[in-house]
Structure 1
């Protein structure tokens, strides 16, 4: 993951350590992804988080997010890596921030400079500082819903279906 901040959004120097902690959460999510570790990926989210995926599926809670991603890492996303570039980071109060990223999911090894020029997806993360002091992802919206793709996913990999709500 790269950690470039938009220069148009100046960061209060007093928030530098919080910004670093938020970048670390995103970096850990990328590391869990490349390692195919759904449990580690899910631990980056709050217990009541919402993750709206690229195909429009909504998962709820870090445990479900990790479980579903493990099924994806074992099938459709096997051998892929998550690439993120922070475009904007804004704090709202002392314990909440919104992070906008450009990113993509790719197969194969890192190609740092080539990857950044072709990041075609946007994601908006809401991150919060929890009672234990750790920053975690409370919500992420990755793209518009793709119902046909979602239906195909559920048919061929039933474990990717979210729990009924």
Structure 2
């Protein structure tokens, strides 16, 4: 019976982690910087696709609201979770594929690595995220000329 409670707790944590990412996506899609920032810890780090670094949920929310009101107005965040890996009881790393679009994305060409933590209040929040553009051609060239660079495990091993 003890093992069952561990499995249940882990399943509940995975669901909570997924829920935080869904909340961040929903906030983005509404253009709600305050709600987006609330998904992050007070000392979070957000490294954007263009290389800007923001610190703390409040700053992340404020900056994204400015973006939602201008460059990102009317955009939607499409996101697919690639993997979730737990590190102890209170930390997880999540890799996603995604795209910021107006309409339906043709492909999910950006990758993001999220670090989530369970805070003292028991809620999971994003402590860090780093976004990267997937460069399929460069990757294919690397794999062709140096096959040892191809991943042997994980979701990209089959490519």
What interval of TM-score do these two structures reach, taking the shorter chain for normalisation?
0.7 to 0.9
Task: Please give the root-mean-square deviation of Cα atoms over the aligned residues, in Å.
Answer: 1.4
C-alpha displacement at 1:143, in angstroms?
A: 2.0
CA distance in 1, matches of 2:14, 2:121: 17
Q: Structure 1: which 5+ runs fail to align?
A: 1-11, 145-165
Residue of structure 2 aligned with 1:136, choices 104, 125, 143: 125
In 1, Cα distance between the equivalents of 2:48 and 2:42? 17
Large movers: runs of 4+ above 4 Å: none
Question: 1:41 aligns to what?
Answer: 36
Larger RCO (alpha carbons 8 Å, 6+ apart): 1
Whole-Å separation in 2 of the counterparts to 1:80 and 1:55:
17
Secondary structure of the 2:125 match is strand
Distance 2:121 2:75 in 1: 32
TM-score by length of 1: 0.74
Aligned pairs, number: 127
Q: Distance in 1 between matches of 2:63 and 2:102?
A: 19
SS of the counterpart of 1:119? coil
The 3-state SS of whatever aligns with 1:142 is strand
What is the alpha-carbon distance in structure 1 between the residues aligned to residue 26 and residue 111 of structure 2? 19
Please give the secondary structure, in 2, of the residue aligned with 1:40: helix
Larger radius of gyration: 2
1:20 partnered with 2:9: no
How big is each residue's C-alpha offset from its partner over 1:98-137, in whole Å with a ceiling of 9 and x where there is no partner? 00000010113xx4xxx4x610000000000000000000
Counterpart mapping for 1:78-97 below 5 A: 78-97=73-92
Cα distance per residue 1:61-80 (max 9 Å; x no partner):
00000000000000000000
Between the aligned partners of 2:123 and 2:69, the Cα distance in structure 1 is 29
Contact 1:22 1:127 in 2 (8 A): yes
> Whole-Å Cα distance in 2 between the matches of residues 132 and 81 of structure 1?
30
Which position in structure 2 is the counterpart of 1:53? 48
TM-score, scaled relative to structure 2: 0.77
CA distance in 2, matches of 1:87, 1:143: 14
